[in-house]
Amino acid sequence: MLGRSRKLVYDGEGHCPCCDSDVRFTAEFDWFRDHLLCSQCGCIPRERAIMRVIEQWVPGWRELAIHESSPCGRGASLKLARGCSRYLGTHFREDVPSGQVIPGTPWRCESLEAQTFPDESFDLVISQDVMEHLLDPAEAMREIARTLEPGGAHIFTVPLVNRERPSEVRARRGEDGSIEIFGEPEYHGNPIDDEGSLVTMNWGFDITDHIFDACGLSTAIVQIDDLSQGIRAELIEVCVTRKRERPAGG
């Protein structure tokens, strides 16, 4: 379709689950994952997809204790922060001690692989395109499971680029602490680091097996295609990992 001042690949009306507004969704490029934008809040499809899953799977999220790792200042992150009084956002910086506020930001410094939170601190953990940047994802999975309340969930997006093929390691921490990179290094944008974040994993659908092997929790992969809410793009599956309820009387 043609926009008023530029040629658009897509231009249509819909309702955004992040800003709860009737909006226009437009894209100048056919890679909708990064370019199908909400006219009101500027969010992209994976942010709308994760917000819709949160609303459907955890409708009482506003009353819960929520930890979001690596939030950005728009979309689902902004809605969660504004809507939940017990929301806590964290980022990781090597030059800031864990548990302290990162200077110049509202974020607490935490590594997903070595969190300082007590056991069973959160009802809901959120991460958006974080799990492909971890040097020890299995340890992060165990830490997330440890910090979840029984019955809690980790809801997250991660580009499942390998699809049906096995997941593969792209970078890891060597025995001497240095980072070993396999193949051409790739970086994605980071809200607090202009250099970006190194891609360490190419995940496939077998991420569910990796999570179960690491921490014993089961994971569902949710696929949504709903252009009326601007949820159409490549690699926008939402994963939901649930921690079992505590047995009655336990």
pLDDT in tens, 214-226: 999 999 999 999 9
Domain assignment present for residue 11? The answer is no
Domain assignment present for residue 194? The answer is yes
Question: In whole angstroms, how far apart are CA 90 and each of 26, 126, 168?
Answer: 31, 10, 27
pLDDT reading at 190 higher than 90: no
8 A C-beta contact, residue 18 and residue 51: yes
Mean pLDDT of the 132-149 span:
97
Strands (DSSP E) along the chain, which ranges? 10-16, 21-27, 37-38, 66-69, 87-91, 108-109, 122-128, 148-157, 168-169, 171-173, 179-181, 187-190, 193-198, 201-202, 218-222, 238-242
Give the pLDDT score at 250: 56
User: In total, how many domains does the chain have?
Assistant: 1
pLDDT reading at 165 higher than 80: yes
pTM of the model: 0.93
Calculate helix-pair angle for 45-57, 75-83, nearest 10 degrees. Answer: 40
Give the pLDDT score at 193: 64
Mean pLDDT of the 158-182 span:
93
Q: Please tell me what DSSP assigns to residue 107.
A: P
Give the pLDDT score at 6: 65
Domain of 176 in residue numbering reads as 44-242
Give the pLDDT score at 191: 66
Domain assignment present for residue 183? The answer is yes
Domain assignment present for residue 124? The answer is yes
The backbone torsions φ and ψ at residue 97, rounded to the nearest 5 degrees and listed phi first, read -60, 140
